[in-house]
A and B are shown apart, each in its own frame.
Chain A
Amino acid sequence: MQLPKACEAVCCKFFRLLQPLCKPIVGNKVLVQHNGAQVFKRSINTTQVTWQRLQKESTENEIDDESEIVAKDLEPIDSSLDIEEDASLLEHYINKAKHDLGSFEDIEYMDVFDPNKKLYYKMVDLWLKEAGETRRGHREFIVTVMHAMSRFNVESDISAYTKLLDCFPQGEHTGLKRDHWFLAAFKDKIADHLLGDKLIRLIAENGAIPNEELHNKTTDLFGKFSPTTFAARSILFWYGRLVSFNKYPMSVSDFKQLSPIEVAFYGLRQINPGLDGNYQCFPVDKTKCTEILDAGKIDSIISVQTPEQQTLLAKHDPMVPIFIEGPNLCYFREKTVQYYVMRTDPRNKEPDTASKSHILATKDWWTDFYKTDWKTDKKIQKDSGKLYSSEWLFPTIHLDKNLSSKSEIERDICQIEKDTEAVEGPVYAIACTDYNSPAALQGWIKGLVQTNKKLALCSVVFREEKSFMLNAPTTDPTEIDIHDPNFLEDAGFQ
């Protein structure tokens, strides 16, 4: 049926108005005009895309050995910024924020000195301006920003995470809030709640300190009965209690900015605990030491000695040699510290016979024999914990009373505690370097002689020991490798 011409014109206009909704498909992606910027949005049918991509790759690279699969897995895949769509979104707003820095509205962030952090806050503010009240595309933006937080050095600032909560659509009628315990089960928009849950898990991973502001914002947004607020409550409760197990807590951003010498200092503080430790940095004589180190390694010697170790060294017998035990590894959070130990071998402790030969009687012998007190020569009474021994009318105070009598109390730890002292001698000092040759450690001894004068009289020997931590095999050494060509020979077959 043919329509009259006037109706056709009206219908064409009607369809032209609808045209923006029917977008052209470019490849398998969908073009969207998002607030002035052309941004590629992810298509819904990605399985088609991935299948085509995999088919292409399989024809190009025919994998014969399994070793190639292994090499691919080792490449980092977790970075979502490799995808073009997300990278373009971020860079669009970063470039805008860079041009806009220094405007009058930056007074809000005057206390933020790091330019990268300022850029982050500026970027989010610009997106909020352009998105408007509806906050269109908030899920993609939040996900990209969460993955890119390390670029801005903003991981340990809680205000950065609360800023992202402003990117969710605010208001009473968004359908996001779950305020009633029964009606929460029938509510929608679980993706937003799970996104918020991911955000709070990021806070826990990066070690940022949670706020009451975090909890208040999540309850205003998501309601009391949502998984995000549950996560916020749990992190508020558990963060302080889990950090208290750690003696030296440190935030992630501070740890990143540490130089290798600072890492060595913190590592030595962990290895040799004590508030009165004497930390010193000694140079290495490069005429005698011919070893060359890489760029990020420590060239000097950082040593630690507590006053207790200093007194032990002063009592040391100069006839007995002192040993410096070889390099060993220790972890300080994610980084490693290589250290050397100065100690001696234990001596067999002999009893002091000189003092016993002059004494004819001791207190213990006197009390056992005469059953009287040593000084006052009065008879010893039972229940010596009494204050008023002669006056029985007053109440008696038994100070040493326990569940059982004294003779029956058993203590196990004191029998076992000191077994290792018979095998391992005392430690005098600990140092940290990246040199592996004993010639470099002469600088350490020269420096310690200034505070420990007895060291000059003693002989110091370098004892090289193979440590497990530096030479650990990555695979089980007892495991039988079937694909090894020498397998049959080792197993005994020809």
Chain B
Amino acid sequence: MANPLVWVLHSAGRRFPSLTAARRISTGLRLMQNDEGDESGITVKKETPHKPPQRLAIHWPKFRQSWKHIQFDIKNRFSPMKKQQHLKRLTKEDHVVYYFRNPDDLRYWYLMTDEDIGGYSWSELRQSKNEMTALFRGYLSNRRPRDRLLSEDPLAERPRFSGFAFMETKPFITVLDKVEFMSFIGFNVIKLRIRGDGRKYMLEAHCDLGLGYNLMYTAPVHTNGGPLWQEVKIPYCKLIASKKSGLLSKQSPMDLHKMTNFRFLLNDGIEGPFQLEIDYIAFERDYNFPFEDNDYYDPWLPINSNSGG
């Protein structure tokens, strides 16, 4: 079971699916090497003519990947119903979406913190000592970045700043960088098995409705902390539609055919270390909850729609 490779993803890893264990590149500094051994210690390189990078007419690796997906798609469409994966789910009671028994399973996730904005919190994603679960841990700091320092003008606004960190699934790319949707079809409930540290994490599902209209369906997960595992059940009807971490007054049910990403977000505002251990993420069918409705409605719809909120 023990794999000599230890996959460790850091928050400096970006959204590129080809990079798995990435590090931040220092852009400000360029080191000079002393080739000839001058006394002054400085050498100046001769100017070479600028060569543009080689651009192929056809990007063959991308074409190879997309050809595989085309073949798979053709096979799937004309195969019987029992073998089609997204329809097979209707016969299943449970369906595990992500689990971390192998270290290779971490390549489906990427991390981000407020370092991109100039903040000072860091995070990492690695396999735990069990070699069965994933560990998302780091340090969250509320220290303001250089861009957002407060002014001494008493009339100026003083907005609050809190650090954030999240781990998100990479989108599935099929044919020529086309983003494929995840299928939430047939099920009713998202089930998690996690072991946290007592903090409030937000589970989010990203919905792409086209033409730049993106919604995040969020739900808070209050972790217990401690050595015992915690099973959390979140039905689809309890996920709240939000835009840029702001809950909308007009709630609509989730479009199950257009979900792209999963995300675990930490946005407490509490400065300190954090740790979240995930065993599996699964779908389940529970007949106590509705299948197509949302539990949230706008009781003041005729007024709220005119006030422009």
Instruction: List the interface of chain A (C-beta within 8 A of B).
Output: 42, 46-47, 50, 53-54, 73-74, 77-78, 80, 83, 181, 184, 224-227, 229-230, 233-234, 237-238, 241-242, 245-247, 267, 270-273, 325, 328-332, 334, 336-337, 339, 341, 343, 403-404, 408-414, 416-417, 419-420, 423-424, 427, 430, 468-469, 472-476, 478-480, 482, 491, 493
Q: Does B144 contact A (CB under 8 A)?
A: yes
Contact, CB under 8 Å: B270 / A331: yes
Contact B10 A411 (CB under 8 A): no
Tell me which residues across on chain B come within 8 A of A242, comparing CB atoms: 220
Contact A271 B226 (CB under 8 A): yes
Q: Which residues of B contact A473 (CB under 8 A)?
A: 139
The reply to whether A225 and B130 contact each other, CB–CB distance below 8 Å, is: no
Q: How far is the CB of A189 from chain B (nearest CB, A)?
A: 16
Closest 8 CB pairs of A and B: A271-B226, A472-B273, A331-B198, A330-B225, A476-B122, A181-B306, A412-B96, A230-B309
* Contact between B11 and A476, CB atoms less than 8 A apart: yes
Assess the B155–A46 pair: CB atoms within 8 A. Answer: yes
Closest chain-B Cβ to A203's Cβ sits at a distance in Å of 16
User: Which of B71-79, B169-177, B279-287 touches A?
Assistant: B279-287
Q: B18 at interface (Cβ–Cβ under 8 A)?
A: no
- In the complex, 24 of the A-B residue pairs with CB atoms within 8 angstroms, ordered by the A residue number, are A42-B155, A50-B153, A54-B152, A233-B300, A245-B220, A245-B221, A247-B222, A270-B198, A270-B224, A329-B197, A332-B198, A336-B272, A411-B92, A412-B96, A420-B132, A423-B130, A424-B130, A430-B227, A469-B197, A472-B273, A473-B139, A475-B120, A479-B122, A480-B24
Contacts of B130 in A (CB 8 A): 420, 423-424
Find out whether the CB atom of A334 lies under 8 angstroms from the CB atom of B154: no
User: Are the CB atoms of A272 and B226 closer together than 8 Å?
Assistant: yes
**Contacts A331-B197, A424-B130 hold; do A50 and B228 have CB atoms under 8 A apart?**
no
The answer on a CB contact under 8 Å between A423 and B132 is: yes
- Contact yes or no, B249 A246, CB < 8 A: no
Residues on the A chain within 8 Å of B225, using CB: 267, 270-271, 330-331, 337
A482 with B29: in contact, given A271-B228, A472-B273 (CB under 8 Å)? Answer: yes
Any chain A CB within 8 A of the CB of B62? no
Cross-chain contact A230 with B92 (CB below 8 angstroms): no
Since A225-B307, A234-B247, A329-B273 are in contact, a sample of 10 more A-B pairs with Cβ atoms closer than 8 Å, ordered by chain A residue number, is A46-B153, A54-B152, A233-B300, A270-B226, A330-B198, A331-B198, A339-B226, A410-B93, A412-B282, A478-B23
Check B227–A184 contact: CB distance below 8 A: no
Give Cα A73 to B133, complex, Å.
39
Query: Is A273 a contact partner of B224 (Cβ separation < 8 A)?
Result: yes
Least CB separation from B307: chain A residue:
A225
Indicate whether B99 reaches chain A with its CB closer than 8 angstroms.
Answer: yes
Question: Closest CB of chain A to B124's CB: distance in Å?
Answer: 8
Once the chains are docked, how many angstroms separate the CA of A224 from the CA of B300?
10
Chain B binding site: helix, strand, loop or mixed by DSSP?
A: loop
Min CB distance B165 to A, Å, is 12
A77 to B306, CA, bound (A): 38
For window 253-309 of chain B, which residues contact chain A by CB distance below 8 Å?
Answer: 270, 272-273, 275, 279-280, 282, 284, 295-296, 299-300, 303-304, 306-307, 309
Contact of A416 among B23, B96, B158, B220 (CB under 8 A): B96
A-contacting residues, B179-217, CB 8 Å: 191, 193, 197-199
Which chain A residue has the least Cβ–Cβ distance from B122? A476
Contact at A474–B141, with CB atoms within 8 Å?
yes
Closest to A233 in B: B300
* Interface residue B168 (Cβ < 8 Å from any Cβ of A): no
**B6 CB within 8 Å of chain A:** no
Chain A's closest residue to B234 (CB) is: A245
In the bound complex, CA of A482 to CA of B28 (Å): 9
Residues of A within 8 A of B226 (CB): 270-272, 330, 339, 341, 430
How distant is B106 from chain A, measured CB to nearest CB, in Å?
A: 16
Nearest opposing residue in chain A for B304, CB measure: A230
Give the nearest-CB partner of A51 in chain B.
Answer: B153
Contact A77 B273 (CB under 8 A): no
Q: A331 to B197, alpha carbons, bound, how many Å? A: 6
Q: Please, which residue of chain B has its CB at the minimum distance from the CB of A430?
A: B226
**Given contacts A46-B154, A245-B219, A247-B222, is CB(A480)–CB(B132) below 8 Å?**
no
Are A413 and B143 CB-contacts (below 8 A) given A47-B153, A245-B219, A329-B197?
Answer: no
Q: Would you give the 0/1 interface string for B143-173, flagging 1 where the beta carbon is closer than 8 Å to chain A? A: 1100001111111001010000000000000
A413 in contact with B96 (CB, 8 Å): yes
CB proximity of B226 to chain A, nearest CB, Å: 3
Contact (Cβ within 8 A) B24 A479: yes
Closest to A465 in B: B129
Q: Residue B90 at the A interface, CB < 8 A?
A: yes
Find chain B residues with CB under 8 A from A271 CB.
198, 224-228
Contact B306 A334 (CB under 8 A): no
Compute how far the CA of A323 lies from the CA of B11 in the bound complex, rounded to whole angstroms.
35
Bound-state CA distance A475–B12 (Å) is 13
Q: Which residue of B lies closest to A414 (CB)?
A: B94
A430 to B225, CA, bound (A): 12
A493 and chain B: residue at smallest CB distance = B31
Out of B150, B154, B227, B275, which one reaches A427, CB within 8 Å? B227
**A contact residues around B54 at 8 Å (CB):** none
Separation in Å of the B157 CB from the closest CB of chain A?
10
User: Is the CB–CB distance between A468 and B273 below 8 Å?
Assistant: yes
Docked Cα-Cα span, A224 to B149, in Å, equals: 37
Contact yes or no, B307 A230, CB < 8 A:
yes
What A residues does B300 contact at CB under 8 A?
A: 233
User: Shortest distance in angstroms between B139's beta carbon and chain A's nearest beta carbon?
Assistant: 5
Known: A271-B228, A343-B227, A468-B275. A73 touches B24 (CB 8 A): no
Asked, given contacts A271-B228, A413-B284, whether A50 binds B152 with beta carbons under 8 Å apart, the answer is yes
Over the window 1-39 of chain B, the binary record of Cβ atoms lying under 8 Å from chain A Cβ atoms (1 yes, 0 no) is: 000000000111000000000011010110101000000
Chain B residues lying within 8 Å of A339, measured Cβ to Cβ, are 226
Given contacts A73-B144, A237-B299, contact A413 B94 (CB under 8 A): yes
**Are the C-beta atoms of B158 and A78 separated by less than 8 Å?**
yes
Q: Which residues of B contact A73 (CB under 8 A)?
A: 143-144, 149
Is the pair B154, A272 in contact by a Cβ cutoff of 8 Å?
no
- B166 vs chain A, min Cβ distance (A): 16
Residue of A with least CB distance to B299: A237
Please state if B92 and A410 are interface contacts (CB–CB under 8 Å): yes
- Which B residues touch A427, using CB under 8 A? 227-228
- A474–B139 touching, CB < 8 Å: yes
Whether B137 is near chain A, meaning CB under 8 Å from some CB there, is yes
